[in-house]
Structures are given as structure tokens and as C-alpha cells.
Chain A
Amino acid sequence: MIRFTYSRPGAVAEAVQAVRAEPGAKFIAGGTNLVDLMKYDVERPRRLVDVGALPGLGAIEEVAGGLRIGALVTNSALAYDPRVEQRYPLLSRALLSGASPQLRNAATTGGNLLQRTRCYYFYDTGTPCNKREPGSGCPAINGVNRIHAILGTSEHCIATHPSDMCVALAALEATVEVTGPGGDRSIAFADFHRLPGDQPQIDTTLGADEIITAVQLPPKGFATNYTYLKLRDRHSYAFALVSVAAALEMEGNTIKEARLALGGVAHKPWRDPAAEALLRGRPATRDSFAEAAALILKDARGYGDNSFKIELARRAIVRALSQAAAGTPQPIADKRIA
């Protein structure tokens, strides 16, 4: 691993100042993604500013009918919080379908938002990659791209965002609270992650000198009709090829409100307001679900190895919406798809 300096400030403002003062300085909290990338020489920070023990960022609090999750709450603490289990089970299920217990014990809420793509070429410093070295090219587009994106890609990058948690947060319309030299601001979840465009090296709209302080969940948790369906190459501890967060509000068999977010298919959790609007007021039938799937996938494009994802996503969306409407979410430990 490269050599770097290390400091552990005692307050958020000091931490922000420390990163601002030194080009190449980075925050570290759980470190589960950053340390890994440093071992591969993909990340080469000059200084690590340890925010893992900063006061005031480790609690889950009741706020305005919703929950405010401190940026340092670990993925396990969040998944197993009784309020989250009861009121936001979609979030709990998504968290528990990601990574392993060891990683979830270390990884934080803020860090999960900022984790980087698992594109093979991004990780391999022996190959070009526009995300790692802007302008060097994207070998994935014509290369081994089984795990890559089918929506929102650009000619510069077809990487996906690997998080499960973020797919649920997108469906729940969470907001991200950040702070920096310019003060505090809130970012709507849909605006937090970006598409690659011609700047794939930039994953999010977070400023280089800003830090995430919390994620806020709105009151509506869709705790009755939801599912997180994750399809992958092995039954556990693997990134999604396709995942679906589905959340419905039902009135009898009629869909009153619908949220649908996809993971593993784009540079950010993928939502389409038109597909959700289509479901509103419709009966909860396979035909309705298939129409919504066709709409959200209408611009999907395969790159060869990953072309199977288009049909996989279509079927997964129908399956997930059926599970959500029936109130039968996909169990975590029982891998049979029902």
C-alpha cells in the first residue's frame, strides 16, 4: 500500500478543514471500500482524515415523522434497528442482502453512498479506465462487460453503482444531508449520484470539500407492500446483476402509489417517474407490472455480455411488483424465488 499521513480531528468542521487544506486528502470511516482500493493502487490518498469516531454522527433519531440516520451508523446497526425493521423494512432487507456480516459491521451509511464501482477495468491499473484516469478510454464497452450497465450509459463509461442500500433509499426518496465550507445543504436522493456522461470520474454531486452528515428518511416507509429482490451469480455475498426495490401503497387491488428502483443496471439507482405514474390507479396485475417494466427499460441497451440483463430486469420487475402487491417480500435466507 502507498504511504500517506493520517489525522483524526475531533469535530466535523475540523475534518472538513483538514481535507480542504491538503490536495489529495480523503476522509476515511469504515474503510471497507477505500482500503481495498488503496491496496489495488486505485485510490492514492496523500492523507487520510479519520472521521470514524466524530461525535454526533452515530445515532438514528426521530425527525418530522421520519428518521435521521447519522452518517456513521453502520450498515448492520441500521438494518437491525427496530424502527427501521418495522417502518422501513425495504431498507433493512436491501442492507442485509448486501456484502457480508463482517463488512456490514464496519461499513457506514455515508460510506455506502460513496462506494465506487466494481468494474473490473476500474480496479485493474494495467488497463485504461475513464473513471480512474479520465480520457484514457473505456475497455468495458467492447470488453468483458457482464456486470455492466444497460441504462444511462455513455460512450465514456458503462460502470454500475454497486450499492443495495442506495436502491432502497432511492425508492424511499431519502435526502442526503451534507456540510462543507459553504454550510449545510440537503440533496434529494435522485440528485446525489450522477450519470457518467463525459465525466465518469465524478460519482456524486457531493463537493470535494463536503462531508455527508446524515441521511433522512421521509415518514412514508411502504412497510406493508414492498420487496427487495436481488439476483446475482451466487446466493449470498455477491453484487447484484439486477436488483429491484419495489414499494406500493394499495387500496384493495388498486395501486395508489408506486415506487420502483433498479440496482446493478446503471451508474446510479435507476428510477423512472413515468413508470411509477403508469402504475398509479391501475389494478395490481401482471399486465400492469409488465407495462411498467417495458417503460422503465425502454431505453435499455446491452453491450454483449450484459445483454441478458434487459430480459432479467424485465422479469425481476414483474416478480418484485407481484411480491410487493401480495405483501410477500423476498426472504433473505430463503433463496427460492416465489
Chain B
Amino acid sequence: MPVNPAAPGAAATPEPASSARHSIELTVNGTRRRMEVAPWTTLLDLLREEMDLTGTKKGCDHGQCGACTVLVDGQRINSCLALAVTKDGAEIVTIEGLAAGDGTLHPLQEAFIEHDAFQCGYCTPGQICSAVGLLKEGRAKSADEIRELMSGNLCRCGAYPNIVAAIEQAMRQEGAAR
């Protein structure tokens, strides 16, 4: 089957008995939730289709574009290649969970706006979540290193120079805050 998500009933094989579903617990953007998931549901589809968290985007659905990047236990991963059932007990942060409770944007969100670091915006949630992971990892020190360590996020509009500038700004702010 090609790239489409596993919508119930859409596949050639019949939907198995409900006993095939597994109960998992996830903390998503600070809220703990217990859910029943089919083993073939990816974390991306769970977030988008069952939790209405549509900020996380489905681009290629094959781990090649980075639009689906979320943070799992603090680390950036491709949610399209993660089966939700394998993430039982994990803490997930998506683009919807980055701003503070009072609506104050995350410094990276501010920086992306300030630097006009997007055009169509489709890759942006993945870019920002990936950049949050990058800052947390603390490995990038230069623009070259930002480019290298953001290579898992494609932008078809070609906003790369402004994306790098936005991340550099957030990195400087973070450095100054330490």
C-alpha cells in the first residue's frame, strides 16, 4: 500500500477484533491521557486523527522531510515512523505545547516570526520542534552546524536562510539567559 495513513477500513485486510487494540498512556503537552490504539497507528496519525493535534504535519510519511517532528521524552523524532503503541508511557511535546500557558510564544516561535522564517508554513511546526531539540542537544555552535543538524527538515519554499537566522537568534538568547 502506498503512503496513505491507516484509516480504519481503508486497507485491503479486514479490521481485526477490538482485542487487537492496546491500552497505552501518553503525556501529551503536559496532559496525561490513556488511549486505546491499534498497533499499526503511528504516533503522527494518533496525534492528528485521534487527538485533533493537527499542528504536527504529514509531509512524506517516510521520515524524509521532518514535517512530523515532535519531541518524545525531550528528543526530536519523526512521529511518522514511530508506532504509537511503542511509545507507551512517553512524554510527547508537539508544536501546540511549546507556548506558555498564558499564550506567550516560545522564543523559537518568536524568532521564526521575527525572521520571516517560512512562506507556506507547512514545514514550520516540524522545523520549530526540531530546532527545540537542536537547542536542547547543545551540539550546534555555528551556522554551518545548525544547517547540518537541521538537515532532517526540508522546506520546499526555500526559507532556509531565515530559518537558520531564527535559530541563531534563539541560540544567542538562550546563551545570554544562562
Contact = CB atoms under 8 A, between A and B. Distances in A.
Interface in B3-25: 3, 6, 11, 13-16, 20, 22
B81 A106 contact: yes
B52 interface: no
Nearest to B79: A102
B77 A2 contact: no
Contacts of A4: 39-40
B85 A100 contact: no
A32 B144 contact: no
B95 to A, nearest CB: 15
A334 B144 contact: yes
Interface in A218-252: 235-237
Interface residues of B, number: 44
B81 A31 contact: yes
Interface in B117-159: 130, 133-134, 137, 139, 142, 144-145, 147-149, 151-153
B85 A36 contact: no
Contact of A3 (B11, B63, B86): B11
A102 B152 contact: yes
B133 to A, nearest CB: 7
Nearest to A3: B13
A80 interface: yes
B84 to A, nearest CB: 11
Contacts of A334: 144
A35 B83 contact: yes
A328 B100 CA distance: 45
A2 B82 contact: no
Interface string B16-38: 10001010000000000000001
A68 B61 CA distance: 34
B56 interface: no
A39 B148 contact: no
Contacts of A276: none
Interface string B40-60: 101000000000000000000
A50 interface: yes
Contacts of B61: 39
Nearest to B61: A39
B3 A106 contact: no
A101 interface: yes
Given A52-B86, A101-B76, A101-B149, A32 B63 contact: yes
Contacts of B16: 3, 5
B162 interface: no
17 contacts: A2-B11, A3-B20, A4-B40, A8-B88, A32-B78, A35-B83, A39-B1, A40-B2, A50-B85, A76-B137, A80-B139, A102-B130, A105-B76, A105-B133, A106-B77, A236-B151, A333-B148
Interface of B: 1-3, 6, 11, 13-16, 20, 22, 38-40, 42, 61-63, 66, 69, 75-78, 81-83, 85-86, 88, 130, 133-134, 137, 139, 142, 144-145, 147-149, 151-153
Given A3-B16, A8-B88, 16 more contacts: A2-B1, A3-B40, A6-B83, A40-B2, A50-B85, A52-B86, A76-B137, A80-B139, A101-B130, A101-B137, A102-B133, A106-B77, A106-B82, A333-B142, A333-B145, A333-B147
